[in-house]
Structure 1
Amino acid sequence: MTNESFAEVIDAIFAKLAVRYGATWLRQWDGLDMNLVKSDWGSELAGFAQNLEPLRYALRHLPERCPNVAQFRALANACPLPEFKQLPAPKADERVVAEEMAKQLGIKKAMQPLVDGKEWARRLIARHEAGERLRPYTLTCARQALGMEGKMPWQ
């Protein structure tokens, strides 16, 4: 919203307050430049420029006595948040669900041999036995993991 159109909103608020509170509203600004007063209200209420509903709420819930700008802003801040109706959850396509579950089961079955967590060591020993040269430390770690060498407290 532009400053000019928000100035129109401030004018409308002042008109509503003048009708509601009459001479009491006008007397509180006696001797002041009304443009300065409106400018002050505009800057204090500028945070509502993108959403005017809190200002409408404040106008619907005016107190018995004339509010100043801080009191009016407090009324606007008391505006309850809008309630949004929750949409129903989308229905799942049974075929897609079945396919995804089959994939998950396949992944789970593929990981089963790794249950003891020592498959890596078995593969290294198999590579070594097939003639592949491995670093001595790698081979020692694999043998220790399988309990073939040394005894670790966790074995």
Structure 2
Amino acid sequence: MAVETFTDVIEAIFTKMQVRYGATWLRQWEGVDMNLVKSDWGNELSGFARNLEPLRYALRNLPDRCPNVSQFHAIANSCPLPEFKQLEAPRASEKVVAEQIAKQTELKAAMAPRHDPKAWAKALVNRAEAGENIRPIALKFARQALGTEGKQKWQ
């Protein structure tokens, strides 16, 4: 019979306990409305409503003496986590790897600077060293860009 609601789960637990512990199980609830007892167990164990495996584990590992709801809850909490086998990583074909390396190489070449970003500064300094008359502020900026005069934060 398939379990339909969590109330059915609690009923199944009580049935198992009654079979396992017999009169001892029933005697501990003598004089108490059994519906209230089941309701209490349902409230205490409601955290397992989405995953019943810990409750199955607790039923497979019952102690010699009748557990109360707290003890049963503790047994359920000690349920080991399921073991999952790790899948082997898929292997890429050599053709795909070669294609991807080629794409990365092309991309790297496309992103590489085509010219020296400080070429203007080098040209101004070379012209000044060759004796050409260069404005002092332009020469100062060129030397700063090359890091030969005045240290800037960005250098």
Q: Mark yes or no: TM-score above 0.5.
A: yes
Question: CA contact under 8 A between 1:121 and 1:143: conserved in structure 2?
Answer: no
Partner of 1:121: 118
Which consecutive unaligned segments of at least 5 residues does structure 1 have? Answer: 127-135
Question: CA contact under 8 A between 2:122 and 2:146: conserved in structure 1?
Answer: no
Partner of 1:69: 69
Please say which of residues 88-97 and 5-14 is displaced more in the overlay: 88-97
Report the RMSD for the aligned CA atoms in angstroms.
3.2
**Could you tell me how far apart the structure 1 residues matched to 2:80 and 2:143 are?**
68
Q: CA separation of 1:123/1:54 partners in 2, compared to 1, >3 Å: closer, same or farther?
A: farther
SS of the equivalent of 2:5 reads helix
Q: Report the CA distance between 1:69 and its aligned residue.
A: 0.5
Structure exhibiting the larger radius of gyration computed from Cα positions: 2
Q: How many residue pairs get matched? A: 137
SS of the equivalent of 1:72 reads helix
Alignment of 1:139-150 (within 5 A): 140=141, 143-147=143-147, 150=149
- The amino acid that maps onto 1:94 is E
Question: CA contact under 8 A between 1:48 and 1:55: conserved in structure 2?
Answer: yes
Partner of 1:131: none
Partner of 1:105: 105
Question: CA contact under 8 A between 2:121 and 2:143: conserved in structure 1?
Answer: no
**Could you tell me how far apart the structure 2 residues matched to 1:14 and 1:51 are?**
18
SS of the equivalent of 1:20 reads helix
What TM-score do the two structures reach when normalised by structure 1?
Answer: 0.74
Which consecutive unaligned segments of at least 5 residues does structure 2 have? Answer: 124-136
Partner of 2:32: 32
Q: Report the CA distance between 1:95 and its aligned residue.
A: 1.8
Deviations 1:31-68 (A, max 9, x none): 11110110010011111111111111100000011000
Q: Report the CA distance between 1:106 and its aligned residue.
A: 3.3
SS of the equivalent of 2:118 reads helix
Please say which of residues 105-114 and 70-79 is displaced more in the overlay: 105-114
Partner of 2:128: none
What TM-score do the two structures reach when normalised by structure 2?
Answer: 0.74
Q: Report the CA distance between 1:96 and its aligned residue.
A: 1.8
Deviations 1:58-87 (A, max 9, x none): 000000110000110111111111111221
- The amino acid that maps onto 1:100 is Q
Q: Report the CA distance between 1:111 and its aligned residue.
A: 5.6
- The amino acid that maps onto 2:151 is M
Q: CA separation of 1:111/1:28 partners in 2, compared to 1, >3 Å: closer, same or farther?
A: same
**Could you tell me how far apart the structure 2 residues matched to 1:152 and 1:124 are?**
15
Q: Percent identity?
A: 65
